[in-house]
């Protein structure tokens, strides 16, 4: 099988990791007239090509790129096989097209060898980068740092060159925006390294990120993006997809068969994802249980999905070492069988406090967001029955379930 010829410093041979292929395969189709019509958030979850307004054209481009990713097809073969299909669809050369925003009929360039090369390179690099980000999250315990590296370009952009050799933890906010590629034709990349290598290279301080304002003449919007990054490339697509997946997954569990939802939540409570969040090597949230419908109603929640977040993880590690990642499989049983109290704080925040009656009981506290569309596990730890009885004497606490 052929290797990719457009390499950002690393090679996928004999084929790409599954994360790369799935990142691209799972994108929806988004017709667009201009690259300025599509935000980075949309690029992370949708496939769009400027002037590709017809679904069949987008499908042809996406299928060809997916095959190139799956089979390691170089650009020359990709273009040779795709060009006749685009000609048959009428998407080639200069033609008239209606701008959907202005209603103006304009002569625009559709397909061309130069455009195909840009489409190929931009999508290959973005898919590789997003796939790599997914692997980075899974392996961050062993390889907790990233180093920013330049690609094989003859000339480098000054802002990109200034980042060469920067060593930062995987979860540093810098990577939320400055995760390459960072522009059209950018060949920068990152390499995941051990703590030892990071210390040998020298761990950097998290840098300031100077911003600049850019004007989108298509929408009239002015927005701030990091200086040195091209508009439309100012977001880590892998990170955004991860966050969207978490929100999507929570929504899917709410609508699933109750038995399936409970089983899925229990599986995720024992997953690598929870372990990574718990030990501080990954950001985000993961479902761990389904709240019984009657308890969701008690606190006015519009969801039943209970999530464990990186914010809670930090507090759990610091204050409650006994709540190891292996213990989170207990959460679902506690919600089903434990005693439940409802607490209303002076500022109106509602919480559920659940505790079992073992010799060394476990206690967990659930809080919902102000909008009621998310429920988070606020704390999870060992306690005593004496502390439970003391809690119930609080005037802000009422018993819900014995």
> Domain residues of the chain, as ranges?
18-208+221-238, 256-401
DSSP alpha helices (H): ranges in 279-363?
Answer: 293-298, 310-319, 330-337
Residue 70 CB neighbour total at 10 angstroms: 15
- Between CA 325 and CA 316 the distance in angstroms is 10
Residue 369 CB neighbour total at 10 angstroms: 12
Contact call for residues 340 and 398 (beta carbons, < 8 A): no
Give me the tens of pLDDT residue by residue for the chain, a chain 402 residues long.
Answer: 333 334 444 333 445 566 677 777 767 777 887 777 777 766 666 788 888 888 889 899 999 999 998 888 999 999 999 999 999 999 999 988 888 878 888 898 998 999 999 999 988 888 888 888 888 887 888 999 999 999 888 889 999 999 999 999 998 999 989 999 999 889 999 999 999 999 999 999 999 999 999 998 887 888 899 999 998 888 887 777 666 666 666 777 787 777 777 777 777 787 777 887 888 777 788 888 888 989 988 888 888 989 888 888 877 777 777 778 888 888 888 888 888 888 887 777 778 989 888 878 998 899 888 888 889 988 888 888 888 889 888 888 888 888
- Between CA 328 and CA 35 the distance in angstroms is 44
Contact call for residues 183 and 243 (beta carbons, < 8 A): no
pLDDT of 137-180, one tens digit each? Answer: 878 889 999 999 998 888 899 999 999 999 999 989 999 899 99
DSSP state of 50: B
- Strand, helix or coil at 105? strand
What are the b/e assignments for 105-130, b being 16+ CB within 10 Å?
Answer: eeeeebbeeebbbebbbbbbbbbbbb
- Between CA 37 and CA 59 the distance in angstroms is 19
Q: Are strands 94-98 and 105-109 parallel, antiparallel or unpaired?
A: antiparallel
């Amino acid at each position: 099988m052929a290797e990719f010829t457009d390499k950002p410093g690393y090679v996928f041979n004999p084929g790409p990791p599954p994360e790369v292929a799935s990142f691209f395969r799972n994108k929806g189709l988004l017709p667009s007239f201009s690259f300025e019509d599509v935000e980075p958030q949309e690029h992370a979850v949708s496939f769009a090509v400027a002037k590709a307004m017809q679904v069949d054209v987008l499908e042809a481009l996406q299928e060809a790129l997916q095959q190139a990713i799956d089979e390691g097809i170089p650009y020359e073969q990709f273009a040779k096989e795709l060009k006749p299909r685009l000609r048959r669809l009428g998407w080639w050369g200069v033609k008239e097209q209606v701008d959907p925003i202005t209603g103006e009929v304009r002569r625009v360039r559709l397909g061309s060898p130069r455009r195909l090369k840009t489409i190929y390179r931009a999508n290959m690099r973005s898919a590789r980068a997003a796939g790599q980000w997914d692997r980075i999250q899974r392996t961050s315990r062993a390889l907790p740092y990233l180093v920013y590296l330049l690609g094989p370009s003859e000339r480098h952009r000054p802002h990109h060159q200034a980042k060469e050799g920067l060593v930062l933890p995987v979860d540093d906010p810098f990577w939320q925006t400055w995760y390459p590629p960072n522009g059209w034709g950018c060949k920068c990349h990152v390499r995941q390294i051990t703590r030892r290598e990071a210390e040998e290279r020298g761990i950097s301080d998290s840098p300031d990120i100077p911003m600049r304002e850019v004007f989108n003449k298509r929408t009239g919007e002015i927005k701030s993006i990091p200086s040195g990054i091209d508009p439309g490339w100012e977001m880590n697509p892998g990170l955004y997809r991860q966050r969207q997946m978490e929100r999507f997954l929570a929504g899917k569990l709410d609508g699933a068969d109750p038995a399936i939802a409970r089983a899925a939540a229990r599986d995720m409570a024992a997953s690598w994802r929870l372990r990574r969040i718990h030990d501080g090597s990954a950001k985000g949230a993961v479902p761990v249980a389904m709240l019984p419908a009657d308890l969701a109603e008690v606190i006015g929640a519009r969801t039943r999905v209970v999530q464990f977040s990186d914010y809670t993880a930090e507090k759990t590690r610091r204050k409650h070492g006994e709540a190891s990642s292996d213990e989170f499989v207990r959460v679902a049983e506690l919600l089903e069988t434990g005693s439940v109290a409802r607490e209303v704080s002076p500022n109106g925040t509602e919480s559920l406090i659940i505790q079992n009656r073992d010799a060394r009981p476990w206690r967990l506290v659930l809080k919902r967001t102000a909008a009621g569309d998310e429920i988070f596990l606020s704390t999870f730890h060992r306690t005593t029955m004496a502390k439970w009885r003391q809690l119930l004497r609080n005037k802000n606490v009422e018993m819900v379930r014995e």
